[in-house]
Structure 1
Amino acid sequence: MIRVMYAVLLLLAVLVLNFSLMHLAPGDVADTISQSMGGADQEVLDQIRADYGLDQPFIVQLGRYIGGVLQADLGFSFFYNQPVTKLILERLPATLLLVITSQVLALFVGVLLGVISARKPNGISSHLVTFLALFGYSAPVFWTGILLLIGFSLQFQWFPVAGMRDVTISGGFWVHFWDVTRHLVLPTITLSSIFLALYSRLSRATMMEVLGSDYVRTAKAKGLTERQVVYKHALKNSLSPVITLAGLQLSAVVSGAVLVETVFSWPGLGTLAFQSIIARDTPTILGILFFSALVVIVGNLLTDLALRLVDPRMRERA
């Protein structure tokens, strides 16, 4: 309950900070609208500011915005001519699908590679995992995405170039499921590449530490096979640092999704944020920042829950 209260206070602080920074930025909605109109005189600018409530003192504007957020009203997008809440809810499923799939893939493959390399730390597999981890961590995510597009979409034509769905395809559920899956493969691999490197290295280090502990040696002395020792005893105790890192990296995953969605034209919040920034659509930008903070905070709460399920010692401390 205390963590939930802290999360609410943090979300409120993020809301105030984002609104304050946008208020301090040069220009406003009236300037952007007038530029799109080819110019406007001062009377028209004043009328636009009055329509959007920009002629009110800052504290009044902030209070109205927070009050609107509490009622699930994030304002109105002048660029898309739609409520911001509707825009975000339409794009949110696509971003959540990409982010969750990427995190699950990075965690599963990263932990698996870490365990394999930890079993033989001086073997070829360990050196190969280290090389792949360094390569994945050092490569910019947009560069990786462009290479995958050139290789697997343009050269071999195995996967679609852009988008989330092929509008020309008709059929039942499984036809559309397979279509979305094909579109999802390259963005997921791109976004998960850098985090897979982090999880594999951390998993390798923690697994090697756990394999050298007394209870593991005792389990081996009892005659348990190496597979039983690794996957039944050591793995569970080595997951806590990896899960903690996954929770801390969630904000990086969300921000990385902006680049990945832009490269692959994925119709999520990242693409919406990119287009809104270019159009200087302040209400939409504020709404996306709010939802991004909400996703990260909820993700950290779920990380705490996962740690309690994996590590009984966390339940005892609570």
Structure 2
Amino acid sequence: MSSIERLAKTFRRTFLQAIPTVIGIVVINFLLLQLAPGDAADVLAGESGSATMETVAALRARFGLDQPVIVQLIAYLDNLAHFSLGFSPRYNLPVVDIIAQRLPGTVILMISAQLIALAGGIVLGVVMASFAGRWPDRVISVVVTLFYSIPGFWIGLMLILVFSVRLGWLPSGGSATIGADIGGFDALLDRARYMVLPAVSLALFYIAIYSRLARTAMLEAQTQDYVRTAAAKGLSPLAITVHHVLRNALLPVTTVAGMHFGGLLGGAVVVETVYSWPGLGRLAFEAVMSRDFSVLLGILLLSSLLVIIANVTVDLVQAWLDPRIEAR
């Protein structure tokens, strides 16, 4: 079986498995949110300060919140069947328009954080495995343990204090310079400056996980017969590490990275709030506080799709890294 056929078979298998997963996620999320106290009508009425019971009832009727749960679920599934995520009572806009405004920021932040975490974790894992039991291994182990133990919001605040307040190298919040009349490469560089601290804050926790996992996987791979065979053939230690040990050690790292992609969005809620980053995480927090479950359901559905896409990507990467992996 050729590489293209193997990748296509892996893609078809994962895609077919994703369909019932998405349906289950939609139904479970909808039913769980119905258990939450209050709704958007209560919040809107409370903010107005002078709403009556009749006003609250009219708001519930307007947004269909007075219908039985099963009726609301059928209406929501019907909207999804027509490629609609519903209407937001809070923002008075279609949910898809609200999410479309925030989605690019979160996707860029998550991808940047994942790349930083993978690159940093793999590099540190290689160094730790190469100096196993010696002082570089011990020092890096202590540092990554700190990354794993310290809460994300505290790391974010400390990075702001050091690099924004003390040194003045990077901005403390936002996504771009307000009112700056720039374009092209200068605009890209400006957005990159605002992204450094949020992406690093989100990535440090996962750097700790990937580095320890890469270290363990590399130490295990170094004991395999194919590594001894490569050494007997006269290959240099660098060639053995890159072409034999590291390639096989990446399999568990990429597997865990796919599993953690959804956790990045959960961490983005805190990071986006600390850095005032306009993304889905901050929008989800605002939707919870305002009981705007239409927006929250849309974010949860989109998050599920992003995780599924990440898992498909991981399956394809693993099939490419190890030709022995075939879809069954």
TM-score, normalising length from structure 1?
0.96
Structure 1 runs of 4+ aligned residues shifted over 6 Å read none
Q: Is the 8 A contact 1:72 1:85 kept in 2?
A: no
Q: For the residues of structure 1 that align with 2:143 and 2:82, how far apart are their CA atoms?
A: 47
Q: Is the 8 A contact 2:258 2:310 kept in 1?
A: yes
What SS does the aligned partner of 1:314 have? Answer: coil
Q: Is the 8 A contact 2:202 2:271 kept in 1?
A: yes
1:185 and 2:188 correspond: no
Consecutive unaligned residues in structure 1, runs of 5 or more: none
Q: For the residues of structure 2 that align with 1:88 and 1:72, how far apart are their CA atoms?
A: 14
Q: Is the 8 A contact 2:18 2:308 kept in 1?
A: yes
- Matched residues, number: 317
Question: 1:189-220: per-residue Cα shift (whole Å, max 9, x none)?
Answer: 10000000000000001101111111111111
Q: For the residues of structure 2 that align with 1:136 and 1:311, how far apart are their CA atoms?
A: 31
What SS does the aligned partner of 1:296 have? Answer: helix
- Structure number with the bigger relative contact order (C-alpha 8 A, sep ≥ 6) is 2
Q: For the residues of structure 1 that align with 2:40 and 2:276, how far apart are their CA atoms?
A: 26
Structural mapping, 1:214-253, within 5 Å: 214-253=225-264
Q: For the residues of structure 1 that align with 2:173 and 2:110, how far apart are their CA atoms?
A: 17
Which of 65, 68, 82 aligns to 2:93? It is: 82
Consecutive unaligned residues in structure 2, runs of 5 or more: 1-11
Deviation at 1:290, TM superposition (A): 1.5
Q: For the residues of structure 2 that align with 1:52 and 1:153, how far apart are their CA atoms?
A: 44
Which of 35, 47, 71 aligns to 2:82? It is: 71
The alignment's C-alpha RMSD in Å is 1.3
What SS does the aligned partner of 2:179 have? Answer: coil
Q: For the residues of structure 2 that align with 1:276 and 1:290, how far apart are their CA atoms?
A: 14
Matched residue type, 2:274? V
Q: For the residues of structure 2 that align with 1:259 and 1:70, how far apart are their CA atoms?
A: 32
Q: Is the 8 A contact 2:173 2:276 kept in 1?
A: yes
Q: For the residues of structure 2 that align with 1:254 and 1:29, how far apart are their CA atoms?
A: 24
Matched residue type, 1:266? W
Q: For the residues of structure 2 that align with 1:14 and 1:313, how far apart are their CA atoms?
A: 32
Question: 1:53-73: per-residue Cα shift (whole Å, max 9, x none)?
Answer: 123222111011011123232
Q: For the residues of structure 2 that align with 1:131 and 1:189, how far apart are their CA atoms?
A: 18
1:100 maps to: 111
Structural mapping, 1:99-248, within 5 Å: 99-248=110-259
Question: 1:271-304: per-residue Cα shift (whole Å, max 9, x none)?
Answer: 1112222222221112111111221122112111
2:7 maps to: none
